[in-house]
Chain A
């Protein structure tokens, strides 16, 4: 979503993005003229008249699970967004019985929060796991 019109989105997709992504952009490119929605989400820069790089992960109940906002010159890390979605999905599927520690990736160890884990995280989770590849 940006403040550009849907017509400009079409031109950008057809003339540039479709050369980067085969078949063009697969998801809807939304238009937010005037930044009304961006203002609602707290990421619209009214001095510059643009949206900053806000990214919101919204779960199937319509609740915001996470967000990240960057100033324009720095791009996002898509892999990190996907990792977060995978983590939120795991937690949701476990109905809150599992949690993903720092550095978690799919297939890695999760934590089972409960009285038995209090003061014992150090036994199962090591600092180097925050940097696991």
Chain B
């Protein structure tokens, strides 16, 4: 599922799959739409570097299809709450 990363000097970054652009659009959207998370709709896919049990790995959300996932964001390491 998760590939192990080689710990190099560069700081790994996350990736978001680029959605294929619709080639012809008849109507231009009036403003850039910010995608909102909606319940009952797909969770946006991503790949992110991670630390897991002594290893550095890449985690891709869609690898977890078939399982329940709790995705938690928090302000920062070494914070108090």
Q: Separation in Å of the B77 CB from the closest CB of chain A?
A: 4
Main secondary structure of the interface of A (DSSP, over half): mixed
How far is it, in angstroms, between the C-alpha of A63 and the C-alpha of B5 when the chains are bound? 28
Contacts of B49 on A, CB cut-off 8 Å? Answer: 5-6, 30-31
Asked if A2 meets B73 with Cβ closer than 8 Å, knowing A30-B59, A72-B79, the reply is yes
- The answer to whether A3 touches B39 (Cβ under 8 A) is no
What class of interface size applies to chain A in its complex with B? 35 or more
**Docked pose: A62 CA to B71 CA in angstroms:** 12
**Contact A64 B74, beta carbon cutoff 8 Å:** no
Which one of A46-54, A102-110, A111-119, A120-128 contacts B? A46-54
Which B residues touch A51, using CB under 8 A? 73-75
Query: A75 — which chain B residues lie within 8 A by C-beta?
Result: 81
- What are some 9 contacts across the A-B interface (CB < 8 A)? A2-B76, A12-B78, A28-B52, A31-B12, A31-B51, A32-B73, A36-B46, A56-B43, A72-B79
14 additional contacts (CB under 8 A) given A10-B56, A58-B71, A89-B68: A2-B77, A26-B53, A28-B2, A29-B50, A30-B59, A33-B13, A40-B16, A41-B44, A43-B73, A56-B72, A63-B43, A65-B39, A73-B81, A85-B70
